[in-house]
Amino acid sequence: MSQLILTKTRLFEGTWEGVLSYEGGTGPEPSVEVTFLEKAVPGVSIKAANDEGKWALHIPIPPESLSDGTHTILIENASNGERLDKITFIAGEALADDLRAEIDLLRAELDMLKRAFRRHCVETM
């Protein structure tokens, strides 16, 4: 059997959307398992797409996955357990600390470049 491929199309209004297809052709209607914290995510749907051999996958994002910290939703092929994709959310204090550290680093590098440029201008006058 051909390998199942999942391609993300968008995340819109709390629903992750993607397209399922088989590498190199068509196959039976796919079956996927979507889990968050080892529990099945309710409301997952797979529908035939307009293109032959493709299926539209819709995954409603569980509200409990949107909280402080890093959370991952796993999408797996139900027939063989192969991981097709993952959805990761980072929010709250964990994200704020990372962004502040990156901004501080960028400011320090910008200050260093400004000093070097000014010194260069003074030396070449």
pLDDT of residue 39: 94
pLDDT of residue 113: 92
The kind and range of the H/E element at 17 are strand 15-22
Phi-psi region of 66 (alpha: psi -120 to 50; beta: other; left: phi over 0): beta
- Taking the mean position of all CA atoms in its chain, how far away is CA 51? 24
Rg (CA), the chain: 23
If you classify domain 4-90 with CATH, what class do you get?
mainly beta
DSSP per-residue string spanning 40-88: EPTT-EEEE-SSTTEEEEEEEPPGGGSSSEEEEEEEEETTT--EEEEEE
pLDDT of residue 76: 95
Average pLDDT of the segment spanning 21-43 = 90
pLDDT of residue 28: 86
Task: Evaluate if residue 35 carries a pLDDT over 90.
Answer: yes
Helix (H, G, I), strand (E, B) or coil at 31: coil
pLDDT digits (tens, 9 = 90+) for 50-100: 878 899 999 999 999 888 888 999 999 998 889 999 999 888 776 666 777
